[in-house]
C-alpha cells in the first residue's frame, strides 16, 4: 500500500503543480487565438528546425556520459549511452525526474553497469548543469538589469501588472495547493525506508564512487567542450522558435538569452517537461520585449507542445532501437 502511494505521489504531484500553474496562467485566455496564430501566422518549418539542436544535444550528452563512466572502469556501447538519453527525456515527460532512473537502467540492462555507480555520475553532471544555469542567469540579470527593472517598474502597479499577481487570491490558492501536495508527497515517500542496512551501505559507496568520477575525467577539456555545446544547443532550440512568429522574429539573441536563462532556473521545479514554470517565464518575459499577452501565451503553448510531442516520439523510437540493436548483438 505504501509503495503504491509512493509511486502515485511521484506521478501525481508534478502533474498537479503543472496543472495549477497552467490553469492560473490561462484561466481567462481565449484559445481561439492560438489556433488563429498557428494556422495563419506560424512558420512551421522553423519549429522543425528547432528540433535539430534537441537531437544534437542528446547525442552530445550521451557521448559526454562516457567520459564520466570511464574513470570508474566502465565503457558502455556509445549507441546505448546516446539512446538512453532520448529515453530519459521522454520518461521525464511522463514522470519528472524518472529519466535518470531509466537512463541508468538502460546501461544496467544492456551493458551490465551497476545502477548506483552510473547514477552517481549523473549527480556530478547535474551539479555542473546547475552551476551553469545559475551562472548564466546571473550574467543575464547583470547585463539586462536596466531593462528588467524598467519592465517590472512599469508593469508593477498597473492593471494586469506583475505585482498584481500577488494581489490575486488565485495566486495564493495555487501556492497553497502546490505546497500542500509537496508536503503530502514528501511524507508518503519518506515513510518507505530500506530495511537492509548492508544494501544501503553498498549502494551509497557505489553512488559516491560514481559522483567523484568527475574529478578523474581524463580529458577534462573534452568534457567542458561537450558541456558548452550542449548548452548552446539548449539555447538554440528555444531561440530558433522566435523565427516562427512575426511578433517574435525581430527579437534578437539577447532577448532569447535572457528568457532562456530564466527558463533554465524555472524548470528546476519538477513538472512534465517544465510545463507550467516554462510557460510562466516565457509569457512574462516576452511581455518585457513588447509581445502582447495573447501572442506570448500562444507562443508558449505552440512551441512547448510541439517540442514535447517530438521528444516523446524520439524517446519511443530510441526505446525500440535499443531492443533491436542489443538483440542483434546478443
Q: Which residues of 129-168 are buried (b: 16+ CB within 10 A; e: fewer)?
A: beebbeebbeebeeebeeebeebeeebeeeeebbeeeeee
Share of the chain above pLDDT 70, in %: 73
- The C-alpha atoms of residue 154 and residue 138 are separated, in whole angstroms, by 22
Residue 149 scores a pLDDT above 70: no
Burial of 221 (0-12, 13-18, 19+ CB in 10 A): exposed
- pLDDT for 268 equals 78
Could you tell me which residue, 131 or 32, shows the higher pLDDT? 32
- pLDDT for 309 equals 95
What are the contacts of 57-60 at 24+ separation with CB within 8 A?
57/229, 57/230, 57/233, 57/234, 57/237, 58/82, 58/85, 58/86, 58/89, 58/314, 59/85, 60/226, 60/229, 60/230, 60/233
Residue 217 scores a pLDDT above 60: yes
- pLDDT for 124 equals 75
Q: For residue 320, how far is the Cα from the chain centroid?
A: 23
Banded pLDDT at 252 (limits 50, 70, 90): confident
Condensed to tens digits (0 to 9), the pLDDT of residues 18-38 reads 888 888 888 888 899 999 999
- pLDDT for 159 equals 45
Mean pLDDT of the chain: 79
Q: Which of 122-126, 196-200, 201-205, 274-278 has the lowest mean pLDDT?
A: 196-200
Residue 153 scores a pLDDT above 60: no
- The C-alpha atoms of residue 82 and residue 56 are separated, in whole angstroms, by 10
- pLDDT for 170 equals 46
Residue 215 scores a pLDDT above 80: no
Residue 199 scores a pLDDT above 50: no
- pLDDT for 46 equals 96
Residue 7 scores a pLDDT above 80: no
Share of the chain above pLDDT 90, in %: 35
Average pLDDT over residues 147-153: 59
Q: Give pTM, 2 decimals.
A: 0.78
Q: Which residues of 297-316 are buried (b: 16+ CB within 10 A; e: fewer)?
A: bbbbbbbbebbbebbbebbe
Average pLDDT over residues 213-231: 83
C-alpha dist (Å) from residue 213 to 57, 153, 207, 224, 329: 22, 47, 10, 15, 28
Number of domains making up the chain:
1
Banded pLDDT at 158 (limits 50, 70, 90): very low
Structural domain for 138, as ranges: 2-329
Residue 325 scores a pLDDT above 50: yes
Average pLDDT over residues 256-266: 86
- pLDDT for 313 equals 96
Condensed to tens digits (0 to 9), the pLDDT of residues 290-305 reads 899 999 999 999 999 9
Condensed to tens digits (0 to 9), the pLDDT of residues 64-102 reads 999 888 887 888 899 999 999 999 999 988 877 788 889
- pLDDT for 319 equals 95
- pLDDT for 197 equals 45
Amino acid at each position: 500500500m505504501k509503495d503504491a502511494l509512493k509511486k502515485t505521489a511521484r506521478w501525481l504531484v508534478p502533474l498537479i503543480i503543472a496543472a495549477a500553474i497552467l490553469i492560473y496562467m490561462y484561466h481567462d485566455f481565449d484559445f481561439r487565438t492560438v489556433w488563429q496564430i498557428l494556422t495563419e501566422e506560424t512558420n512551421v518549418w522553423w519549429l522543425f528546425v528547432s528540433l535539430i539542436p534537441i537531437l544534437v544535444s542528446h547525442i552530445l550528452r550521451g557521448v559526454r556520459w562516457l567520459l564520466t563512466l570511464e574513470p570508474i572502469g566502465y565503457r558502455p556501447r556509445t549507441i546505448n549511452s546516446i539512446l538512453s538519453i532520448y529515453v530519459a527525456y521522454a520518461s521525464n515527460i511522463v514522470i519528472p525526474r524518472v529519466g535518470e532512473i531509466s537512463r541508468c537502467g538502460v546501461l544496467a540492462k544492456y551493458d551490465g553497469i551497476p545502477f548506483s555507480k552510473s547514477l552517481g555520475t549523473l549527480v556530478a553532471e547535474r551539479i555542473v548543469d546547475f552551476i551553469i544555469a545559475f551562472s548564466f542567469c546571473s550574467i543575464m540579470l547583470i547585463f539586462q538589469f536596466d531593462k528588467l527593472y524598467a519592465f517590472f517598474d512599469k508593469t508593477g502597479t498597473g492593471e494586469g501588472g506583475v505585482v498584481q499577481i500577488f494581489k490575486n487570491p488565485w495566486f495564493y490558492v495555487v501556492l497553497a495547493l502546490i505546497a500542500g501536495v509537496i508536503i503530502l508527497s514528501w511524507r508518503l515517500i519518506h515513510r518507505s525506508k530500506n530495511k537492509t542496512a548492508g544494501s544501503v551501505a553498498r549502494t551509497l559507496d557505489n553512488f559516491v564512487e560514481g559522483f567523484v568520477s568527475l574529478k578523474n575525467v581524463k580529458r577534462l577539456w573534452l568534457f567542458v567542450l561537450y558541456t558548452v555545446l550542449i548548452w548552446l544547443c539548449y539555447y538554440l532550440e528555444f531561440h530558433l522558435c522566435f523565427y516562427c512568429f512575426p511578433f517574435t522574429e525581430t527579437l534578437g539573441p539577447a532577448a532569447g538569452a535572457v528568457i532562456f536563462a530564466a527558463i533554465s532556473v524555472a524548470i528546476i521545479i519538477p513538472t512534465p517537461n517544465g510545463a507550467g514554470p516554462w510557460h510562466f517565464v516565457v509569457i512574462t518575459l516576452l511581455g518585457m520585449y513588447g509581445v502582447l499577452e495573447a501572442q506570448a501565451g500562444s507562443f508558449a503553448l505552440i512551441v512547448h507542445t510541439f517540442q514535447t510531442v517530438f521528444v516523446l516520439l524520439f524517446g519511443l523510437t530510441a526505446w525500440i532501437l535499443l531492443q533491436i540493436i542489443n538483440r542483434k548483438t546478443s
